[in-house]
Chains A and B, each alone.
Chain A
Amino acid sequence: MSSYLGPPTTIRSWLFSTDHKRIGVMFLVATTVMLALGGVLALLLRIEHLTPGPTIMQAATYNRVFTLHGVIMVWLFMIPSIPAAFGNFVLPIMLGARDVAFPRLNLASFWIYVAGSLVTLAGVVASGADTGWTFYVPYAAETFTEVMPILVGVFILGWSTILTGINFIVTTHTLRAEGMRWREVPLFVWALYGTSVIQVLATPVLAMVLLLVAFDHGLGWGFFDPARGGDVVLFQHLFWFYSHPAVYIMILPAMGVVSEVVCTFARKVPLSYVAIAASTFGIAFVGFLTWGHHMFVAGMSIVDAGIFGALSMFVAIFSAIKVFTWVGTLYRGSISFRTPLAYVFVFLFLFVFGGMTGVAVASTSLDVHWHDTYFVVAHFHFIMVGGTLTAWLAALHYWWPKITGRRYAEKWGLVTCTLTFLGFFTTFFPQFLLGNGGMPRRYYLYDETYQALHVLSTAGSWALGSAFAITLVYLAWSLVYGERAEGNPWGSRSYEWLTSSPPPPHNFDGTPVFRHSPYDYHLPPGS
C-alpha cells in the first residue's frame, strides 16, 4: 500500500505537490532550518556576553545579530512551526478529510513563505538591520542599515500565515467527516482553529504597520516622524496590536499538542473537553484586548494603562484553566512516560513558571522596573522556548512515527529532553535575576557586576544548543535505521492514528466514519 512518501519522489513532485502532508513536511524542514539558523545567532549573542566589554563582535554587529535572531525566530520559526508543519500534516487526517479546503492555496502559502524568507535573508546577507525585531520608529525610519528587505520580507511572510489561517478555518467548518459533531473534534484542531482566527485578524495590521515604516524609511512619508507632527506611540499601538496576539499564535498550537499528548499517554478522557476548547477562544479573543501592557512606560495615558493592566489579567486565567485541566487529566490515568510526555512535563513547568512571571509583569508598577530589562527577555523565552519549542519537540516525537513511518530511539529522546530542560533553565533563570538587577535588554556592553550571571547563562546556552543538535542527529538516524512503526504505536484513540503510518495519499481508504470520540479511553478499543 503506497504511502504519501510513495511513488512520485522527484523533487518537482514534492515542490509542486498540493498534498497537505507533503506541504506539511516541507514546512517542517524549512522551519527546522530556520530554527537552527536563529539558534546559531542566539549562541553568538551568548558568547558575546561572556565578558562585559567587546568579546567577539562590535556593537554594530551585535545589534544586527540580536535583530536577526528576533526576526528569524519570531516570523520564520515560531509562527509557522506547529501550525504550518504539524497542522498541515495532521489537521485534515484528524477531521477525516482527504485534504485541506483549498489545496492550491496551501501550496501558494508555502511558496509565499519561501519567498518571504528569501527576501528577509537577502536583508540578512546584505548587512542586516539593527532595529530589533520590534522596528520601533523613529530609529527604524532613520537607520542606515538594510531594514527595507526585512520589512518587505516579513510583509510577505504575513500573507503566508493569513492564507494558512483561512485554509484551516474553512477546512474545520466544511470538511469534517461523516457524523463528527463539534464535540468530537480533537483538541489540537480547536487549538489550530483559535490560532487561525488570530492569524487572519491580527497579521494584516502588522503587514500595514511594517509597510508604513517602509514608507517612512524609503520614501520619507513621515507617518511617525516627530519633526512633522508624527506620534511615535501610535506606531507602538499598531505594532503591539499584532505582536501580542502573535505570542498567542505561537502558544495556542503548543497547547493543542500538549492536550493531545497528555490524553494519549495518560490514556484518559480530558478532565473537561469544553474547558480546553472554550479557553482556546478565550485566549484568542482576550489576547486582542491586552496589547497595552507592552507600553506602560512608553508614554501612554494612565487611563489606558489601567484598562490594559486589568484586561491582561483575564488572559492568564484561560491559560491557568488549561493547565488545571491537563494536570487533572493525569489524575487516575494509566500513564506511560515516553519522550513526548517528558517534553510536556518540561512544557508544564517552564510555561507555568514563565506564565506566572507574565502575570507579575502585568501588575503595572512592577513592569515599570522590569520593562525592557532581561526579566522580560527571560519571561518571553520561558514562554516561547520553554513553551512553544518544547511543545514543538513533543509534537515532533509524538507524530514522528506517523510522518516518517519510523520509530526514534526512546532512550536518546529522554536523555536529550533532560539535557534540554537543564540547558534551558541554566540559560534563562539567571536572566530573571539580571532583569531584577536592572540590566536593560539589547545592551552590548554591561556592568561587571552582572558578569557572573551572564557566564552561567552562556554555559546553559551551550547545553541547550547541543541538546537540539543531538535531537536532530538521532531523529535523522531513525529515518534510515529506525524500526518500522505500525499504524498506532502509542495506542491512541485519536483519529490520525486510525490510518496507517505513513498515511496513504488520500489519508484513508474509502471515506472514514468516526463513531467514537477521539478520547474514549474508558471504552474497550474499537467499540
Chain B
Amino acid sequence: MSRTLLAVAAALFLLVLAAWLLSHVDLGGWAVPLALSISGAKAFLIAWYFMELHEARTSVRASVVAAILLFVLLVGLTAVDVGTRAPPPLLSPAGALR
C-alpha cells in the first residue's frame, strides 16, 4: 500500500469522525452547509487521489467540473425558488405549501 493512499484513507476517516461529532451539535442554519462542505472535502479527496484526477488529462477534469457545476446549478436555483417564494396569502388549510 503506497504511503499517500494510507494518508488519504486516514484523512477520509478523520473527516467521517468530524462529520459524526458535528452532527451532535445544534448548528441551526449552518448545519446543512457545513455538513455538505465536509462531504465535499471527502469527495474531493476520493476524486483527486483514489480516482487519480491529480494526473488526469484536462479533458477528464473538464468533464468532472462541468458535471459538478450543473449539479450545483440545478440544486441551487431550485432551492432559490422554494426559499424565496412569498408566504401563502391568507389561509393555509391542509398545510398548504409556500
Task: Give the interface of A toward B (CB within 8 A).
Answer: 169, 173, 197, 201-202, 205, 226, 229, 231, 233-234, 237-238, 241, 288-289, 292, 299-304, 307-308
Contacts and interface: CB of A to CB of B under 8 A. Distances in A.
Nearest to B94: A227
Contacts of B85: 299-301
Contact of A292 (B59, B77, B83, B84): B77
B28 interface: no
A202 B78 CA distance: 15
A241 B84 contact: no
B84 A237 contact: no
Interface of A is mostly: helix
Contacts of B21: none
A301 B80 contact: yes
Nearest to A172: B59
Contacts of B97: 226, 229, 231
Most chain A C-beta atoms within 10 Å of own C-beta, residue among B80, B83, B95: B80
Interface of B: 59, 63, 66-67, 70, 73-74, 77-78, 80-86, 95, 97
B66 A201 contact: yes
B73 A201 contact: no
A299 B74 CA distance: 18
Contacts of A233: 81
A237 B67 CA distance: 18
Given A288-B70, A288-B73, 11 more contacts: A201-B66, A201-B67, A202-B70, A205-B74, A231-B82, A234-B78, A238-B78, A292-B77, A300-B81, A303-B84, A307-B77
Interface of B is mostly: helix
A509 to B, nearest CB: 30
B59 A237 contact: no
A173 B59 contact: yes
Contacts of A238: 74, 78
Contact of A289 (B66, B73, B81, B82): B73
Contacts of B70: 201-202, 288
A241 B74 contact: yes
A237 B73 contact: no
Contacts of A308: 77
Contact of B66 (A197, A226, A231, A237): A197
